[in-house]
Structure 1
Amino acid sequence: MSKSANSIAGTASSKQEDPVQLNRRRFFSAAGGVLALVGLAACTSPQNSATAPNPVGDHAPAAAKAPSTPGQALEMLKTGNSRFAEGRPKHPNQTSQLRSDLAEHQEPWALVHGCVDSRVAPELVFDQGIGDLFVTRTAGAVLDDTLVGSMEFAVSSPYEVPVIVILGHTACGAVTGTVEALEKNAKSPKAPGEMIDFISEIAPAAREAEPVPDKSEHINNVVRMNTVAVAAALVERSEIIRAAVNAGRTEVIAAVYDLQTGLVDWNPVVA
């Protein structure tokens, strides 16, 4: 049996019941970790200089015109991720002039909701710049009421972003913690402080995933299932986002980032 939900567009219904039984309590939410840019130049003499480094700062190129449709936005994200994974990022829209210009307004064209993991910064993963993306992050990419409201803000006028990406990632610590908590107490997993909130949210996917001999692959299967479930739950939970999806104005995508390759899997499937 396989489970796939690379796009939730066109599948939204008007019912209000939450398909993954979301706990409406507040959840462990964080504003995202800092991911350091590493650009090691080859140690060569002047006469054997390596390829010039990627342009950044005031020399960074401007990005293409902002996309206005779900298809255009998704393609721009895919293209940016390919550049990042291949080690040839353009670092668009990062000049001091643009920063100054955007102090008075912003025109983001996508929202990426991901995990707080420091290795998965959406602006880097998709090679985008200042003012391109709305970004929300929680441990395990789970949802809560305030977070959903923030995502509704991005979908509403004047921004009306054409795509929302729910971005999980391999070897997720929040998912690993959930799996291990369930191994100790399957019926009532324990965790210190407020961390029990995100564990409670990930637990349904962890319980549903069939165990495999390789624990790391099992963790990644739970990541895929949880990411797909969060994308579906977002559309089911939010009337505003559901209306945008049903109108064809916004698309909600489930995707999983591979920490090893740097590539995003746009069709996460669990066998």
Structure 2
Amino acid sequence: MTPDYNTPNYTRRHLLQYGVCIVGTALLTAGITTKVLDREKKKTLGETSSCEPPEITPEKALETLMLGNQRFMENKQKHPNQNRQRMKEVTAGQKPFAAILGCADSRVPTEIIFDQGLGDIFVVRNAGNVVTPEEMGSLEFGVLELGIKTIMILGHEKCGAIKATLEGNAVPGQIGSIIDAIKPAIKGKPTWEEAVIANVKLELKRLNSSPVISQLIADEKLKVVGGFYELETGEVKLIA
């Protein structure tokens, strides 16, 4: 039997559970806000933690990503922050300079293609690199709590989720929820690559609808971009 959520027939237990949820959410929000304010206060006073790298601009963060990808593409990787010393450093906390919302495809390993190491990139992945409430919340947490300076939504060549959407066949289980999220990006009869790029642009719009993200962009404290990864060359191209 489907419950009628419009009928005010809540038990005392339901109200107590609801109250706990509200209090829990308020405490989480207060905790994040307090840490952000503390970070701003430390910057004003010139205080920095020994385990935190110096602040960088959104532009520098994006440049660091792209230079790492260039090294990967040219087989000149430096493999930074991948030793045991770095493992010890990040046990005290994380301070990633960038976040990537990428596809779950095994051929697109984020830290490898950008030549980065432990604690450098905050990675969120799902099939089709779609922005769901959970993904958006994760990225909002990353920019508020961890101080991330740039976010890239990264699509890639020969994406299986995009292909399934283009083909339009029936699919089992919850795979359909991914296809439903991608469908609004598909207009007319695009090529596979055109559809991947169109989906990245749609996900950028979805992410920019977040008041948290949009405000940081307006304050020039965050940069949000799209990217397209070529499987054959290893190159990440920015999407305008």
Bin the TM-score by the shorter chain.
0.7 to 0.9
- Cα distance, 1:102 vs structure 2: 1.0
Cα shift readout 1:138-173 (whole Å, capped 9, x = no counterpart): 10001211111110001103x221100000001000
- Assess, with a 3 A threshold, how the Cα gap between structure 1 residues 203 and 248 changes in structure 2: closer, same or farther: same
1:170 corresponds to 2:143: no
1:116-195 superposed matches below 5 A: 116-157=104-145, 159-181=146-168, 184=169, 190-195=170-175
| Among 208, 211, 227, the residue aligned to 1:255 | 227
Percent identical among aligned pairs is 38
Rounded to whole Å, the distance in 2 between the matches of 1:199 and 1:66 is: 41
- Kept in 1, the 8 Å contact 2:73–2:234? The answer is yes
**Residue of structure 1 aligned with 2:180, choices 189, 192, 200:** 200
Structure 1 gap segments, 5+ residues each = 1-64, 185-189, 212-217
Instruction: Show the counterpart of 1:227.
Output: 200
Taking structure 1 as the reference length, what is the TM-score of the superposition? 0.67
In the comparison of the two structures, how many residue pairs are matched? 188
Q: Distance in 1 between matches of 2:148 and 2:227?
A: 17
Q: Which residue of 1 aligns with 2:236?
A: 264
Contact 1:209 1:221 in 2 (8 A): no
Cα gap change, 1:75/1:171 in structure 2, threshold over 3 Å: closer, same or farther? same
Displacement, 1:263? Answer: 0.2
Q: Give, in whole Å, the separation in 2 of the partners of 1:136 and 1:110.
A: 11
Which structure is higher in helix share?
Answer: 2
Q: SS state of the match for residue 266, structure 1?
A: strand
Residue 267 of structure 1 and its aligned partner are, at CA, apart by 2.7
1:229-264 CA distance string (max 9 Å, x none): 10121011x111111111110011011000011001
In structure 1, how many angstroms separate the alpha carbons of the residues matched to 2:214 and 2:223?
10
Deviation sequence 1:13-53 (CA, Å, 0-9, x none): xxxxxxxxxxxxxxxxxxxxxxxxxxxxxxxxxxxxxxxxx
**4+ long deviations beyond 3 Å:** none
| Structure with greater Cα Rg | 2
Contact 1:161 1:250 in 2 (8 A): yes
SS at match of 2:182: helix
What's the offset of the Cα at 1:106?
Answer: 1.1
Cα deviation for residue 70 of structure 1 reads 1.0
Do 1:73 and 1:162's aligned partners in 2 also have CA atoms closer than 8 Å? yes
